[in-house]
Every structure is written in structure tokens, then in C-alpha cells.
Amino acid sequence: MAVETHAAGRAARPRRRSGRGRGSSAGLHFTLIAATTIAIFPVLWIVLSSFKPNEVIKTQTDLQVLPDPWTLENYRVVLTQNDYEFLHWLANSVVVALFTTVIGVFLAATAAYAFSRYRFPGYRAGLMALLVAQMFPGVILLVPIYKIVVDLGLLDTKASLVLAYTTFALPFCVWMLKGYFDTIPFSLEEAGRIDGLTPFGTFWRIVMPLSLPGIAVTAFFMFITAWNEVLFANVFLTESKNYTLPIGLRTYVFQFEQQYGWLTAGAVIVTIPAIIVFLFAQRYLVSGLTRGGVKG
């Protein structure tokens, strides 16, 4: 009986998840905490600096992080100066990001579905062309896209940015969605065809609802690409009223005057829409990224 009790107690003891000792586990946790602190500190510094007067930020030489005194003046000035110029930039960024997301997701989903389900002349060449397009940095694509924008008469317009951002992000999104569509059994579409659905009907009513995680990842990538981009906006936009937020924030710091308080306050406001989009898409992000990388 004693032997059985001892065996049962030993079996009931929880097993360690790994063979790491206490020292290695403590070292791992210390490394993770240090890396997290290094990653978070710049963001925390920006948030806290947005509550400091600009003179304090420019003259501060010590490592005092907390504002003394606290002030909301930077936010008030940023939101109200020059006839609410910052809010116009915010509206421009929202319009560009939303149109880029909607158009980009539609084009990426339809193209990825075609590459996933059909074999047509130029199939491999098309996939290879999309793969090669991802290898070029944005600065190389700037000149040809700028030429197209000028020829179309779209310079200094929101449409030029939508065109550029969609072009830049589309290859990656097509490849990712194709990998996700490959994981959806074709038998489901065959059942839909038997019930009388057209090819587009099976795509819209069956494949798209099952692909929400992949669509969410694609939409989030498209939105962040358009929301944070600086290079194309800096070249395509010339008038202040057409600026997006990243270009507008650049005007707060120039050669003869540096408004770091306004810059940090604007940077905090800029992150809010991106955080909101992330909160809506977060439950789909992990599954969308992992399943989209299974097949290519």
C-alpha cells in the first residue's frame, strides 16, 4: 500500500516543461525583461515627453523621465494651431489608409485565389514576378511609380499615395493569402458548386468567410503600410493641406526651430488609430500568419 501511495504521489507531481535549471530559467527571464525594457523605453520616453514643456525637453541633460511640471499644452497646440491643420493631416491619413486597405485586400484576395485554385498560362511566371517584386526596396520603385503618377496627373493627391502603397504592399499580401487559401479544402467549394454557386459565389460565400484570419492580417499590413509610410508621401505631396501625418510631423522639427513637445504629442496621437486597428485584428493575427505560411 505504501509503495502504491508513493507511486501515486510521484505521478501526481507536475512535470517540468523543459530541462532548464533554475539558473538558466532566471537568466532567460532576465534577458526577456531586459529586451522588453529596451524596446519599451523609447516609446515611454516619447509619451512622457509629450507632457513636458518644449524648453524642458531641449535643455534637459539628466535622465529625469517623469515630467515636472506636467502639461497638456503640447496637445492643445497640436490639435488647434493653424486652423486645426493637424486634424486635416489626420483625415488625409485615414482616407489614404482606408482606401489602400480596401483596394489592396480586394486585389490581393482575388489574385491569391486565382493563383491558389487555377493553373493557367503564366502561372509560375506570375508568382515569380510577385516574389521578385518583393526583393526591391521602396526607394528603387520610387522613380517608376513617380513617372506613372505624373503621367496620370495625380501628383499631390491622395490617389497617388493609394496607388503607390497598394503597388508596394500587394506582392507580399498575394503570397500570404495564397498560402492561406491553399489550406482550405477544395471539397467545400465543390459542395457549393453542386448547390448552384458560381465560381465567384464560392469565393465570396465560402472561401472569404473561412479566410477571415488571413484577410485580417492582410488588412492590418496594408493599413500599417499606408499609415506609417514617409518616402512616397514626401515626394508626391507638395502642399501642406494634402500632407499625411508622417509628413506633417516632420514640419515640427527643422533647421532653425525644434518643437519636440509638439512632435512627441503628435507621435502619441498618431499611434492611437493603429492601436485601435490592432485591437480589432489581434485575435486573427497569430492564426493568420501561421496558417498562411504552411504552403506556398
In tens, the pLDDT along 206-244 reads 888 888 888 888 999 899 999 989 999 999 998 888 999
Look at the pTM and tell me if it is higher than 0.85: no
User: Which residue intervals of the chain bear CATH 1.10.3720.10?
Assistant: 78-292
- N-term to C-term CA, the chain: 58
In the predicted structure, residue 146 carries a pLDDT above the cut 70: yes
In order of 67, 111, 248, 251, 263, the CA distances from 254 in angstroms are: 24, 43, 12, 7, 11
Is the pLDDT at 49 greater than 50? The verdict is: yes
What's the pLDDT at 294?
A: 44
Q: What is the mean pLDDT of residues 263-289?
A: 80
Of 216-225, 266-275, 276-285, the one with minimum mean pLDDT is 276-285
Whole-number Cα distances in Å, 276 to 29, 102, 171:
30, 17, 26
User: 290: pLDDT confidence band, cut at 50, 70 and 90?
Assistant: low
Q: Does 78-292 carry CATH code 1.10.150.130?
A: no
Q: What pLDDT was estimated at residue 63?
A: 62
- Per-residue confidence band for 90, with pLDDT thresholds at 50, 70 and 90: very high
Predicted local distance difference test score (pLDDT) of residue 289? 52
- What dihedral angle (degrees, nearest 10) is formed by the CA atoms of 202, 207, 210, 212? -130
**pLDDT average, residue stretch 117-132:** 88
Which triple of cell numbers denotes residue 232? Answer: 512616397
Contacts of 214 (CB under 8 A, 6+ apart): 176, 177, 180, 181, 288, 291, 292
- 253 beta partners: 258
Q: Which of 59-73, 140-154, 168-182 bottoms out in mean pLDDT, i.e. has the lowest?
A: 59-73
